[in-house]
Structure 1
Amino acid sequence: MTGLTFVDVCSGAGGLALGLEQAGFTPRLLLDDDRDACDTLRTNRPHWKVLNTDLLDFDPVDHPEVYDVDLLAAGLPRVKSSASVTRRSSDTEIRLIRATAYLAHAVQPRALIIENVPTLIDGASFAPIRDFLHEELEHLDYELSWFVLNARDFGVPQDREQGVVAAVKRQWAGAFRPPRPTVHEHMSVGEALVLSMRSRGWPDADRWAAQAAGVAPTLVGGSKTHGGPDFGPRGTKARWRQMGVYTKSFGNEPPGPDFTWDPSLGDDGLVKITVDQTALLQGFPESWEIAGLKTARYRQIGHATPPPVGEALGRAVAEALNGEPSVPAAG
């Protein structure tokens, strides 16, 4: 255990917070504007302090426990694409990035982590927000690191790139290093789900798992305002079908002993995966309960930071903050 503390904003289903806990951090406060997400957090960690509020409305003066923390963590809603940064539909996402920087200004944690789309790191249309973060944080004595992680390199059976901004106070910044991959062989969809697929006596579970030998495409949680659970765009659905997975809806439970898996039959021969199984593909432990109806549950899962990635980030921050702070040279 590191004895370090954190505040987590836009906490969602708790993937980043769970990972930080596994890295030895203790939360002071978690906040999210989604009631189902807050129910998820409270169900799994009744002792965590969870606040159901919008980051844009949050005033740290009313919550003094957020001061004097080691880490401010923000797995923020993703801007849909680099091309959409200037569109009105992305205004909220950009405002949340700015609000996180302003909160860091008020709280002054020893470190800050912002997770978002990979193009946040080097996409041309993200240059204004990068400039803003540099201007807002560097004069507060933070040094910024920009890097991209892929969840598959941390034992998550999913091809999921994440752009990360890590800002560390200058006296500890020299010891910070971005996380290195923790696995040499990527876990496959079949390997991750075979036990679940066997759970109701499906005789083809092992045969299916052998074909589902690659990592999953990026899970997409979908919008609160548009439609239900979705496997993503056409190319993503094609990758799922190559693994023998039905892509028009999710199942309510794993297949039973009477289901025949035969991709040559088209959709009728493909297996449905469940929302609970997508949580496994996002790196959540089987014991982690996601609250809400099917659409709300899948949205929380698809938007989450995979816990193993959160743990790797937490360990990288802890290693820096637990080291000896550097002393500025005398002028």
Structure 2
Amino acid sequence: MSGLTFVDVCSGAGGLALGLERAGFEPRLLLDEDDDACRTLRANRPHWNVLQADLLDFDPSEYPQSYDVDLLAAGLPRVKSSATVTRRSSDTELRLIEATAYLIHAVQPRALIIENVPTLVDEESFAPIRDFLRKELEHLGYELTWFVLNASAFGVPQDRVLGILAAVKQEWASAFRPPRSTVHEHVSVGEALAPSMRSRGWPDADRWAAQATSVAPTLVGGSKTHGGADFGPSGTKTKWRRMGVYTKSFGNELPGRDFEWDPSLGDDGLVRITVDQTAILQGFPESWEIAGLKTARYRQIGHATPPPVGEALGRAVAEALNGDPAAPAAG
């Protein structure tokens, strides 16, 4: 599965692009409006062609490398829940979905992947945007497949449910299948973070890891306009505290030799997870550098498509595109 190319819009920290790279795709262009995200992409892949620009203003005719690609990938900002989808606060997110569809008109890739919230797949309040995508893409020769994946099924130590649209040109559409789970058992928080917890000689690292046997709750990156790095709503924080994790803020460093983990002591006895460790929980390799200050780094991580999910999606698309095109229907 090599020689396939893609354009990635709203690239963020590069989770989807990294996964596609692992699946054998080569990026022609990566686009994001955020300065920290662009610095993250350039720090990790200096050879990638990264453009800092707003998708709503992007003109592909000025960037010929965006044409004649196999895949357009879009891990778009999450649309709001059904309770707020009609409010002005969701206008930008919906416009970005529309802009992606309009970009298809110009770029005409063989396939499209959009990753977003799971409710986009089947919730009634999102029926208008699904109808819009169907009308825009079907007359261009794409067949649409909507489905939901949980990142934990692909080795990501997190309960993260994703809504996916795969649109494939009719010649290859019959060969496309949504990816299946790649692991037999979920990777737990303790298993994922034990090596980093041990790294500064913390004597309780293995004892803590042995009881952190579930996957992490969904990481929430938050918005640029509200608050800092946060574990999320109260229910999510309760799940973290059951694993002996401090939830009022993220740690600045890993626990050392002198830290005593004892949840019976309250907050003082809980271990603090660092932002770097949340990247591990999102499926990034430890070598992946996230640029920016603490809040900006966590925002990029929390909004990213987990790379193992991106890889699974890429392999599913590659398998379809590398197969024989469907024979034309008899006239």
- Please classify the TM superposition score into its range, dividing by the shorter chain length: over 0.9
The residue number in structure 2 matching 1:140 is 140
The residue number in structure 1 matching 2:93 is 93
Conserved? CA contact 1:11–1:75, under 8 Å: yes
The residue number in structure 2 matching 1:278 is 278
Q: Aligned partners of 1:275 and 1:131: how far apart in 2?
A: 38
Q: Aligned partners of 1:87 and 1:190: how far apart in 2?
A: 40
Conserved? CA contact 1:2–1:322, under 8 Å: no
SS in structure 2 at match of 1:84: coil
The residue number in structure 1 matching 2:110 is 110
> How many residues end up aligned between the 2 structures?
331
Q: Aligned partners of 1:80 and 1:199: how far apart in 2?
A: 39
The residue number in structure 2 matching 1:294 is 294
Amino acid aligned to 1:89: S
Q: Aligned partners of 1:2 and 1:117: how far apart in 2?
A: 29
SS in structure 1 at match of 2:168: strand
TM-score, with length taken from structure 1: 0.99
SS in structure 1 at match of 2:21: helix
The residue number in structure 2 matching 1:79 is 79
Q: Aligned partners of 1:258 and 1:202: how far apart in 2?
A: 7
The residue number in structure 1 matching 2:33 is 33
The residue number in structure 2 matching 1:121 is 121
Query: Deviation of residue 253 (structure 1)?
Result: 1.1
Conserved? CA contact 1:176–1:319, under 8 Å: yes
- The aligned runs of 1:1-331 (5 Å cut-off) are 1-331=1-331
Q: Aligned partners of 1:82 and 1:33: how far apart in 2?
A: 26
SS in structure 1 at match of 2:148: strand
Q: Aligned partners of 1:155 and 1:329: how far apart in 2?
A: 40
Conserved? CA contact 1:70–1:109, under 8 Å: yes
Q: Which moved more, 1:277-286 or 1:77-86?
A: 77-86
Q: Aligned partners of 2:173 and 2:25: how far apart in 1?
A: 18
SS in structure 1 at match of 2:149: strand
Query: Deviation of residue 266 (structure 1)?
Result: 1.0
For structure 1, the residue ranges without an aligned partner over 5 or more in a row are none
Amino acid aligned to 2:300: Q
TM-score, with length taken from structure 2: 0.99
Moved over 2 A (4+): none
Query: Deviation of residue 16 (structure 1)?
Result: 0.1
Q: Aligned partners of 1:104 and 1:83: how far apart in 2?
A: 29
Q: Percent identity?
A: 84
Query: Deviation of residue 2 (structure 1)?
Result: 1.8
Q: Aligned partners of 2:86 and 2:161: how far apart in 1?
A: 22
Q: Aligned partners of 2:150 and 2:13: how far apart in 1?
A: 19
Query: Deviation of residue 142 (structure 1)?
Result: 0.1
Q: Aligned partners of 1:93 and 1:83: how far apart in 2?
A: 15
CA RMSD of aligned residues (A): 0.6
